Structure 1
Amino acid sequence: MRIKEIIVVEGRDDTAKIKSAVDADTIETNGSAIGEEVIKRIRLAQQTRGVIIFTDPDFPGEKIRKTVAEAVPGCKHAFLPKHLAIPKNNRGIGVEHASVESIRESLSSVHEEMEDPVLEITTEELIEDGLIGSAVSRKRRERLGDRLNIGYTNGKQLQKRLQMFQITKSEYKQAMKAVMQEEQNE
């Protein structure tokens, strides 16, 4: 599988894992303190081939994703569910711990940001579905993010991410139905 876009990752281990799964080029941020030189390379990559941001499913990874997306508009996003990024010894979390199949799956479900998103899913719906303000909200948001391949986000950011990645009301409802069925089967 050849990826045309350049994939932005956090470090060398992520690059090695990506290259073991797909034929792709990467740019490494080397942590969340992204320098201007790295941003310049990402901007050039976006202009010439396009960019996919593929960071770890943790706080530093989300910070890097946000920093790059703000500095370089129009990037695509690939998300790895948290449970697929944890090694067997439970030490650390990251893209480098994921299976080749999980990497390929994440890269085949890339989302593109929309510049002027249309509000389809209201805050009231998120509250009604228990994604904001309930005891099970965090777990439901994790499951929803996995189902929609948009990653985990907190309650305040969920609506923005649904809009940003053009998740339709029907996609949302279908994913929520699956999340609720999962809960019932536990």
Structure 2
Amino acid sequence: MGAKPELFELMSGTSPNKMFIPTRDEIVALNIIPQPGFHDFQLKPKDGLIVATATDERNPGPLERVYEIETLCWNQMPIINFYAASDRQGLSSEIASSETTHIDGFRISTDSGDFEYGKDRLKLYPGTRLLASLFLDSNGARAVGNGSALVVVNSYTASGVLMGGHITAPSGGDAAIVASFRGCL
């Protein structure tokens, strides 16, 4: 059912006249109630950089494409990359073209505030697993690293493309995301 095996160990280690009642932190840690969104970012080396990445197999649906979110600092620019699960789920050439797309930028909603970016801060990729690169400023990067965030590419028509995800961070932010943005802040 998705819970970690340690749950069974804790329950079976409880004496017959007692009941194991998990704390709020144990509920999350043991995956008793799966945490929604992208969480538990892991630092990884990639092309000479350090990136933070997380997947959410429940995020992609009939229209939504984002399976993985990656954060990094490249040339002192904080970037969020969106990936599909496979090249087959990537963007068509028509959707990725700046001349035919109806995508006008992206927005980030955090506890620290909302950030809007125009299409000049967004790059779309046709026919690959990499869907989009979102180029943030340092304020947006700080907000993403310091707490939960909803990151969504804006489409002003029914283009058939939804790209976004909810980054669920622990209290105080996600240390891996902060580390991946370190050279940009």
Higher strand share: 2
Higher helix share: 1
TM-score bracket, normalised by the shorter chain, equals: under 0.3
Higher CA-based Rg = 2
If the length of structure 2 is used for normalisation, what is the TM-score? 0.22
